[in-house]
Amino acid sequence: MTLFAKFEALAATRQALAECGLKSVNVVMEKLISPTEAIVNGRPMILAGTNNYLGLTLNADCVEAACQALQTEGTGTTGSRVANGTYADHVALENDLSDFFDCTSVIVFSTGYVANLGMISTLAGSGDTIMIDADCHASIYDGCKLSTADIIRFRHNDPVDLEKRLKRLKERAANTLIIVEGLYSMLGDRAPLAEIAAVKKRYGAYLLVDEAHSLGVLGANGRGLAEETGVEQDVDFIVGTFSKSLGAIGGYCASKHKELDTIRYANRPYIFTASPSPSIIASTRKALSILRSQPELRHRLWENANRLYRHFKSLGLRVGPESSPIVAVRLASKEEAIQKWCRLLEQGIYVNLVLPPATPDGGALLRCSMSADHRPEQVDRIMDAFADVV
């Protein structure tokens, strides 16, 4: 045995990719043409796997805001938020998000992953309990690993199972952090958040919702599933990212608890990570203002998503349980998924290839994520390619 033995299965998967002419599942975008088009491996490609839900990555106003910040404040902060890395725009973005979520305070992090690592590992410690939905994102699991709390999983989207496990804790339920997602990133299904919030209230626990994929997508104002289901007052912490609907990189935690401002000074991933560069903060602030002022982007996104989901169902494909901007086709084996993914690339369609252990049930996925920027003829191309390949 060597340190490298554990990677043999991964090496076999890479070999399978090589046999269909690819060195890696990390496709290189050689030239971006638009939020939904690129040159990949020398050929034009429709991008249907980018999480660019509102299509803001090349928005002219966002790019201009980033360029101005780059010229006036430089390329980076070279320090963490608690050292020299807090600029005026970091505070301004936190204020923007506080106003958007109508909450007491917000912490901005360098990535969404770091936001989960920091908040989960800091909030729950020795003697506390964390209860997570079994299908939660890797960043949530890793945040749990960093915590010294007891970790309990409950069945995916099952508030009855959650309550059964909470009840067993008795008085410890009051020191329990429940964690769910708004939209689950693999199959695009929503959490039954109203029922989960009701369970949380009955037992006096705390609730953290990761709205990474639902910010800008769900709710009358785009605030996410908590807004859509009318339970914002019952959610203690909302964590999310700037790397989906806001087209940048970074993360945040929003809360109605005034203690959040104190928590930032105990939050190791926040304390010891360099703060986001000024250009990223500037483009994110502009993207947030666009999200708030242009609801038509969200409407176009859902038109595209519903159309693709209905078509896949009509083809008899195994898709997620409900329509969502995440439209995933479930396949029985990774070998079949790799083969069909390669054939889609040959037809000029890029989607996400998702293999175990990242998938919720041990199968494989061809995962599409739709954008407000997809034109009708591009959606036609995606549908035609899947009809031919899958």
Q: Which helix (H) or strand (E) holds 369?
A: strand 364-369
The reply to whether 160 and 274 lie within a common domain is yes
Confidence of residue 23 (pLDDT cuts 50, 70, 90): low
For residue 360, the domain's CATH number is 3.90.1150.10
A 10 A CB-CB count for 172 gives 15
Q: Which of 263, 293, 323 is the last residue of a domain?
A: 293
| Exposure class string for 295-329: b at 16+ Cβ within 10 A, else e | eebbebbbebbebbbebbeeeebebbeebbbbbbb
Q: Which of 265, 293, 321 is the last residue of a domain?
A: 293
Range of the domain at 305: 5-58+295-389
Q: Is the pLDDT of residue 41 over 90?
A: no
Task: Report the C-alpha gap between 163 and 53 in whole angstroms.
Answer: 34
User: Does the residue 65 lie in any domain?
Assistant: no
The reply to whether 224 and 112 lie within a common domain is yes
For residue 99, the domain's CATH number is 3.40.640.10
The reply to whether 285 and 179 lie within a common domain is yes
For the chain, the domain total comes to 2
Give helix 138-146 / helix 112-123 axis angle, nearest 10°.
40
The two tokens of residue 185 are: 């990133």
Confidence of residue 14 (pLDDT cuts 50, 70, 90): confident
User: Does the residue 117 lie in any domain?
Assistant: yes
Confidence of residue 25 (pLDDT cuts 50, 70, 90): low
Tens-place pLDDT, residues 325-361: 999 999 988 889 989 998 999 999 999 999 887 788 7
User: Does the residue 68 lie in any domain?
Assistant: no
pLDDT at position 30, please? 95
AA letter at 222: G
pLDDT at position 361, please? 77
Q: Tell me which residues are annotated as active site.
A: 185, 213, 244
Task: Report the C-alpha gap between 245 and 354 in whole angstroms.
Answer: 21
Confidence of residue 22 (pLDDT cuts 50, 70, 90): low
User: Does the residue 66 lie in any domain?
Assistant: no
Q: Which of 293, 319, 338 is the last residue of a domain?
A: 293
User: What are the distances in angstroms from CA 47 to CA 18, 140, 171?
Assistant: 22, 27, 50
Asked if 212 and 51 touch (Cβ cutoff 8 Å), the reply is: no
User: Does the residue 127 lie in any domain?
Assistant: yes
The reply to whether 229 and 327 lie within a common domain is no
CA contacts within 13 A on the Cβ side of 79: 8
The reply to whether 108 and 244 lie within a common domain is yes
